[in-house]
Amino acid sequence: MMNRLRSWLALSLLLEAGCGLQTPLDQLAPNQSGAGGGGGASTSAAGGAGGSNTTWPPGVTVNTCDSYTAVNVGTYVVESDFWNQGRCPGTQCMAINDTTGAFTVTQFPSCGNTVASYPNVLYGCSFGTCSSGSVLPKPVGSLAGVTSSWSFSVGGVSTDQYDVAYDIWFCPDNTCGANGFPKGTELMIWLDYQNVSGWQSHLGSVSLDGHSWDVWVATQGASGNSWTYLAYMIKVPMVTSVTNLDLNAFFKDAVSRGYVQNSWYLYAIQAGDELRTGGLPYNNNSFSVSIN
């Protein structure tokens, strides 16, 4: 999102990702696939003191108030990602089911309209960490199909501020690592949001996969390590679940606008809630990705 300078925050992750049709997150056995791949080494989170990256015993509900916690669930990772705690002091607490991957955010400080955290499920390669056996990174032009199903719910009151969105990362030359995605693109797909708006330049509207979307573009990061931020914000009616959403349709639209190139690489697909104020409890019920 607009204030999320993730290039300076190398998250402590251990990814376990597969190829082709992915098992839905709510149907995975605990710790499926193990952590034995050569790409499964942990990296420390910058500013993430107190965070952890743990393979938990089967059947455990992980209750955590750490800023950076990553829980491996089959081919996915659930992460707390309270990345902007410096501008929004306080505590975020989550309950994560390590068998299904479902999670609930139960506590978070009020941050006005400042995006401060992105509790999410991640598949792919992001900020220097990749799982062995992942199909990603993969050239955009080689993607025959990318679909995703996702179900969530948001609590709170009418004055709360949040957006629930996909966060998808593209690298221009397949060399993106711990420093993020310089000169690349962050593509977000907002499915449900309240009392927040787009940022910088409005590009008009587009119809994709049965819905109408407002499209916004901005520049993120600092000189020498900046990237394009491209957001597709669903128009009313908003949704709290999608089935086989055609992500590739968004990628092709981004290519047609010149913000992504077919020679670039798809690195990561995340699904979560950009927390600002309220919207609790947030329940991430199920999530899956299929890449061909």
Task: Kindly report, residue by residue over 44-87, the tens digit of the pLDDT.
Answer: 222 233 334 444 455 678 999 999 988 888 888 898 999 999 99
In whole angstroms, what is the distance from residue 223 CA to residue 176 CA?
16
Closest by Cα among 25, 246, 265, 46 to 141: 265
Structure tokens belonging to residue 122: 């991640």
| SS3 assignment, position 97 | strand
As a whole number, the mean pLDDT across the chain is 82
Are 122 and 15 spatial neighbours (Cβ–Cβ below 8 Å)?
yes
Residue 268 identity (one-letter amino acid): A
Quick one: 243 exposed, middle or buried, by C-beta within 10 A (0-12, 13-18, 19+)? exposed
| Domains contained in the chain, CATH given | 6-291 (2.60.120.180)
Structure tokens belonging to residue 10: 């190398």
Closest by Cα among 183, 237, 248 to 213: 237
Q: Given a cut of 70, is residue 269 above it in pLDDT?
A: yes
Q: Given a cut of 80, is residue 95 above it in pLDDT?
A: yes
Q: Over the stretch 149-159, which tens digit does the pLDDT of each residue have?
A: 999 999 999 99
Rounded alpha-carbon distances, angstroms, from residue 154 to 192, 247, 272: 9, 23, 11
Q: Over the stretch 222-266, which tens digit does the pLDDT of each residue have?
A: 878 899 999 999 999 999 999 999 999 999 999 999 999 999 999
Helix (H) or strand (E) holding 250: helix 247-257
Are 250 and 260 spatial neighbours (Cβ–Cβ below 8 Å)?
no
Quick one: 6 exposed, middle or buried, by C-beta within 10 A (0-12, 13-18, 19+)? buried
Helix (H) or strand (E) holding 204: strand 201-208
Helix (H) or strand (E) holding 63: strand 61-64
In whole angstroms, what is the distance from residue 190 CA to residue 158 CA?
18
Q: What is the DSSP letter of 51?
A: -
In whole angstroms, what is the distance from residue 100 CA to residue 151 CA?
13
Query: Residue 57: what pLDDT?
Result: 52
pLDDT band per the 50, 70, 90 thresholds, residue 129: low
Query: Residue 205: what pLDDT?
Result: 98
Are 12 and 274 spatial neighbours (Cβ–Cβ below 8 Å)?
no
Closest by Cα among 240, 282, 285 to 118: 282
Pairing mode, strands 52-54 and 241-246: unpaired
